[in-house]
Amino acid sequence: MEARPVLRPLTTLLNSCSRAGQTRLASSTRRTKKALKLPPHPSFLVSGAEADHITYNPPSAAPSVYHTPFKFLPPSDPRRQAQLSSLLRGSTGLAATAAVSNPTTVPATETTEKREVPALEEKHQVPVPKYNVTREQVAEMRALRASDPMKWSVVRLAERFECSKLFVMICCKASAEHQARERERKEAIKARWGPSRSLAREDRKKRRTLLLRGEL
Amino acid sequence: MKRLRLDRLASQLLAAPISPAARLSRPSRISRSIPQACRHSSLYNTQPCQRRHQSTAVEPAPLEEELVHEPQDDESRPKPLRSSRGLPSPHPARAASSAKLAALHARLSLSSKIPVETLARALVDPSADAHPKYNNANLAYVGSTVLHYHTSETLITRYPRLPMDILFAAMKAYAGNPALHQVARAWGVEAAAAPGGEVDPGLLQFDPMKPTVVMNKWGYVRAETIESQTFKSGKGISGRVMYGSNPFGESSAAKSLPDLDDGRNSKTMLLQNAPANAYANFVRAVIGAVHMHCGRDAAKKFVMSHFLSRTLDLSKMFEFKLPTRELARLCAREDFDPPVARLESETGRLSRTPVFVVGIYSGMDKLGEAAGPDLDSARIAAAITVLKSWYLYSPGQVSVPSDTFAEDAAPWKPAYVDIGEIIS
């Protein structure tokens, strides 16, 4: 018992001699074990009163598409009325919890039941259409694009007229020679791809078709 | 010598008491509607060459003429029972002594009102016996209309928001040739190696090299259909709804013009899967027999228990092109807030196998969520989930229009059916 702290440097020395560089620190082992030591889920705990019972603890899974969300229920559906009352009760509960000044007094179950909608980052906000481009500006945009499509690209036009790139593409159509030039440029880029990159691109296409078919 | 009246023996449908419900589809009516059903010929059979080699050989008229005139004279039928080898299909009198037929009758738990002779007739394909009073074409036509009616009404009331593409595919999956072929095999029906008068009446008899009947019509067909097929229009889904000539939205009439003498079109008129067609026609004929002998309710029960009880996962049938755009159009159409994808949770963003869980919200309401290996895939998967949960809405067990056929039925309450396609 008493000898262990004394001997520890010696054993570390021996270990480092035998296995170069590999050391197992008691502190990290203990920390890991402690971190992984979770209490069992409450559904697995058998209370003394009811010895015979069924444990219902399904693994996490994607929700079924046959469960129609509340918003998609037609007005004629009886489930709408049934869920409406529970939803109203839930929203009043949420308002009550929001009104409580000290959040620590709120039980954990209530806060997890009704969660807030995840926040959106600024760049992911849905852009509100501005409708700021006038008819004359559209004509000017077309003239610029027709005069020099290399200089007045879609991106530059969108910056200049403060509209979306999609709107520029709706308004203007590049000339046939410009389109052919762009296609040739892309073909030249694709011709430089090696086997790995082309294979990766093909795999990406296959994955996309699988995703749209819901098989991924 | 007393002549055997084969006509009497074979025409069980005429002899059997027809319920008032089934009067709509009397045999005469059915046989007149058969020319609508197209006929396929093979390369080797360009002229009607079915001949009964008997002492009193009768020159059988072509199918169309017989259908129109319905020969009633007993002279046109062969008389002897002595040599059944010459008949194209087994003699109806042999049905009672067939163990296979009795076993099939018992296995299907058919009512005793359905005679085994009818079951034997249901097993004779038009390619084996061209005479309409001895093959199953008429019964199969009745059966196909009954089957398609119940399938479509059940699908539309149970899943009122299905897109037309999926609805047509589901119709085919429940009532198409491949499904009916499987059902017939599950019933334990076997095919004879070759049709003929000497084979067991309990075997399915068809000849892949002879012209047969394909059930590709249901009810009324617009006059414009032929015109639209001439001008190659009606290829889109609305055109398929309007001009599709069969219950599965396919316009198969164009390639099935029954021009038997013209050898040029033979390749297009060749039946793709003759055994499946024969098995399916047998199943339809059994449904038709149940309808004729036991009535409408029994036929509905039969269809429900044998066909509509089969498992079909509709959620696996979807394939989207632009799910996010479709979802945005849906929300605009239904006056919902525009859909927004939000990141619910993520793990291992910088690792080799990250997982992102993306939820789609409309306003403050969550419509659905899905996981994906990258943000874009997860968003698309979530949009697909939301669209599927829209399309696969089901009001549960609701009444179908045919429920009101009963005498003491409640008045029909209109069912909820969606207004139509989101993107077409």
Is residue B328 within 8 angstroms of chain A, CB to CB?
no
Instruction: Tell me the per-residue pLDDT of B301-336, one tens digit each, with 9 for 90 and over.
Output: 999 999 999 999 999 999 999 999 999 999 999 999
What's chain A's average pLDDT?
79
Distance (Å) of CA B250 to CA A83, A113, B241, B253: 41, 50, 9, 9
Q: What is the pLDDT of residue B2?
A: 52
Instruction: Tell me the per-residue pLDDT of B65-105, one tens digit each, with 9 for 90 and over.
Output: 344 344 444 444 444 444 556 899 999 999 999 999 999 99
Is B16 in a helix, a strand, or coil? coil
Type and span of the H or E element at B122: helix B116-122
> Chain A residues with CB-CB distance to B under 8 A?
62-63, 65-74, 76-77, 117-120, 126, 207, 211-214, 216
Chain B residues near residue A122 by CB distance under 8 angstroms = none
CATH number of B324-391: 3.30.160.20
Q: Is B361–A117 a contact, with Cβ atoms under 8 angstroms apart?
A: yes
Average pLDDT value for residue range B155-175: 94
Instruction: Tell me the per-residue pLDDT of B12-62, one tens digit each, with 9 for 90 and over.
Output: 444 443 343 333 333 333 333 343 444 444 333 333 434 444 444 344 444
pLDDT-derived band at A22 (thresholds 50, 70, 90) equals: confident
User: Can you give the pTM of this predicted structure?
Assistant: 0.73
- CATH topology agreement for domains B6-315 and B324-391: no
pLDDT-derived band at A87 (thresholds 50, 70, 90) equals: confident
Q: What string of DSSP letters covers B374-400?
A: SHHHHHHHHHHHHHHHHHT----S---
- Nearest residue of chain A to residue B316 (CA atoms): A214
Fold (CATH) for B6-315: Ribonuclease iii, N-terminal Endonuclease Domain; Chain A (1.10.1520)
- Map out the domains of chain B as residue ranges: 6-315, 324-391
What is the distance between the alpha carbons of residues B226 and A137, in angstroms, rounded to a whole number? 51
Chain B residues near residue A71 by CB distance under 8 angstroms = 336, 362, 365, 367
Size of interface A-B (CB pairs under 8 A): 81
Mutation site, B366, B379, B391, B423, interface A, largest A CB count within 10 A: B366
| pLDDT over threshold 80, residue B168 | yes
**Range 367-386 of B in CB contact (< 8 A) with A:** 367-372, 377, 380-381, 384-386
| pLDDT over threshold 80, residue A83 | yes
Q: Is A126–B340 a contact, with Cβ atoms under 8 angstroms apart?
A: yes
Q: Supply φ then ψ for residue B124, to 5 degrees.
A: -105, 115
* Higher per-residue pLDDT: A158 or A101: A158
Complex prediction ipTM: 0.72
Q: Is B342–A117 a contact, with Cβ atoms under 8 angstroms apart?
A: yes
State the CB neighbour count (10 A cutoff) for residue B260: 19
Q: What is the pLDDT of residue B232?
A: 55
Q: Is B392–A69 a contact, with Cβ atoms under 8 angstroms apart?
A: no
| pLDDT over threshold 50, residue B130 | yes
State the CB neighbour count (10 A cutoff) for residue B398: 13
Q: What is the pLDDT of residue B235?
A: 66
- Map out the domains of chain A as residue ranges: 131-177, 188-216
* Higher per-residue pLDDT: A54 or B83: A54
Of A18-27, B321-330, B361-370, B400-409, least confident by mean pLDDT is A18-27
| pLDDT over threshold 50, residue A84 | yes
- Nearest residue of chain B to residue A120 (CA atoms): B342
Chain B residues near residue A76 by CB distance under 8 angstroms = 395, 416
* Higher per-residue pLDDT: A77 or B83: A77
Contact B379, B358 (CB under 8 A): yes
Average pLDDT value for residue range A47-74: 84
| Residue of A67, A117, A213 lying closest to B389 (CB–CB) | A67
Closest-CA distance of chain B to residue A7, Å: 41
